Amino acid sequence: MARNMQNSPPAAGAAPAAAADSAAGQGGSGKGFVIALLAVTLLAAGAGAGMGFLLGPKLAAAQAGEQQQAQQQEVQEDEPRPIYSGRHLALRLQPITTNLRAPQRSWVRLEGALLVNAQDLDEKAQAELALLVQQDVLAHLRTLSLRDLEGPGNLAFLRDDLSERARTRSDGRVEEFVILSLVVE
């Protein structure tokens, strides 16, 4: 019979007592978990505050240096910078008027200037250079059609073409051809 008692189910009053003991054990471990979580949170907050006190002055100094550099760059960007420096001379050409290749009734009038590296050019050499480039520009304009002059992209191509032709004719003395005005009729 002793064996039967060991295998017999517990009495009705014993079951609620066992459930209460297991619930009390879980509640104790829950309180321990919350306490451990608070301790780790406080430790992390303390470490963060300590790093802030150690690195705070260094970060403030670095930010102040970055602000000064940004202000200096803004001031430098506001100052106009010359594209050409040294001994450059602007030679204004006589207005060029000619007809276009197509349509035959279209006319073009171009006023331009040459930016010349004038290290060893006297007035006579400047006049000869201007005349030579002017004749070359006239010949080039006669090969263009009205479609070649439409739009900003084609005008940029025209300026580049004229600059390249001027450089070639002047043996590199001309830096750039500047279009002052362009009228197509």
Task: Decide which of 13 and 36 is more confident.
Answer: 36
Average pLDDT over residues 129-139: 94
CA 85 to chain centre: 26
Residue 52: band (very low, low, confident or very high) from pLDDT cuts 50, 70, 90: confident
The pLDDT, as a whole number, for residue 19 is: 47
How far apart CA 158 and CA 151 sit, in angstroms, is 11
Task: Decide which of 36 and 12 is more confident.
Answer: 36
Helix (H) or strand (E) holding 181: strand 174-184
Residue 61: band (very low, low, confident or very high) from pLDDT cuts 50, 70, 90: confident
Whole-model pTM: value is: 0.55
Task: Decide which of 69 and 112 is more confident.
Answer: 112
